[in-house]
């Protein structure tokens, strides 16, 4: 890439889980990483760990459902670094009340605002700079639930993640002519803090068999390392011990 080889990555949801692991893996590969998220203390911890390992990172407190805040964050990154080469949309949530029997419209709206609208806001915010560079990559973290419908994640989460998959493919259809590319990364169960919001929290033994955040961090760094001529359109990744296949009692709740 131009600009003396400097590569700048913006990672949303970078304070924990997949976003944190992605930021750490990218920094280890030499990227300058900007992590954003709602909890500044968590972001500062990630930045400190990256710096301790010799990487370059900084933090911006941000709620991706705030369109003005997203635009301001992108402007701030561009003002400091002059470019954005990679966007990793990793911010996402679910809610405990997630079945048709107990779902609440407030929960539905919250998931749509963060899991879908937030992804779109960030993509649009980086688009002018990437078009001007005629180079740029986006990784949208969706879910196994974005490809396979099942009961456990609930209708709101499943719907938003399916939408992210469609959004990613539609981006590639329009923006490939501008040298831009997007990957929809759809992991199965990952042992991250979001599991605590499940109606039935998986046991430590079950979580040990799941994908780990560092597995997704390595995947994000791999996609980011591809040359501009390569578009990794979609990656579907799951634990070998896939509870959707094995049908344990907990994943039927």
Active site residue 157: yes
CA-closest candidate to residue 216, choices 7, 10, 12, 26? 26
173, exposed or middle or buried, with CB in 10 Å at 0-12, 13-18, 19+?
exposed
Gap between the Cα atoms of 189 and 95, Å rounded: 16
Bridge-based pairing of strands 86-89 and 8-12 is parallel
CA-closest candidate to residue 114, choices 239, 5, 19, 203? 19
Beta bridge partners of 88: 11, 139
The 10 Å Cβ neighbour count of residue 52 is 8
Check 157, 183, 191, 213 and give the catalytic one: 157
Gap between the Cα atoms of 74 and 79, Å rounded: 9
Gap between the Cα atoms of 120 and 189, Å rounded: 24
Please identify every residue annotated as catalytic.
157
């Amino acid at each position: 890439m131009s600009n003396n080889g400097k590569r700048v990555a913006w990672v949303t949801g970078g304070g924990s889980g997949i976003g944190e692991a992605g930021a750490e893996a990218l920094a280890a590969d030499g990227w300058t990483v900007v992590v954003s998220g709602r909890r500044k203390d968590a972001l500062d911890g990630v930045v400190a760990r990256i710096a301790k390992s010799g990487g370059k990172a900084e933090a911006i407190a941000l709620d991706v459902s705030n369109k003005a805040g997203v635009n301001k964050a992108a402007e701030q990154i561009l003002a400091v670094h002059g470019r954005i080469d990679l966007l990793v949309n990793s911010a996402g949530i679910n809610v405990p009340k997630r079945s048709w029997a107990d779902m609440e419209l407030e929960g539905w709206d919250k998931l749509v605002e963060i899991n879908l609208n937030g992804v779109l806001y960030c993509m649009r915010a980086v688009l002018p700079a990437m078009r001007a560079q005629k180079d740029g990559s986006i990784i949208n973290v969706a879910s196994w639930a974005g490809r396979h419908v099942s009961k456990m994640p609930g209708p709101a989460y499943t719907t938003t993640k399916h939408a992210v998959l469609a959004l990613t493919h539609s981006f590639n259809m329009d923006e490939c002519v501008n040298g831009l590319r997007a990957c929809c990364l759809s992991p199965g169960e990952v042992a991250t803090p979001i599991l605590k919001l499940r109606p039935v929290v998986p046991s430590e033994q079950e979580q040990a068999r799941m994908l780990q955040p560092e597995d997704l961090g390595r995947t994000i760094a791999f996609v980011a390392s591809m040359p501009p001529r390569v578009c990794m359109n979609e990656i579907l990744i799951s634990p070998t011990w896939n509870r959707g296949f094995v049908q344990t009692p907990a994943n039927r709740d």
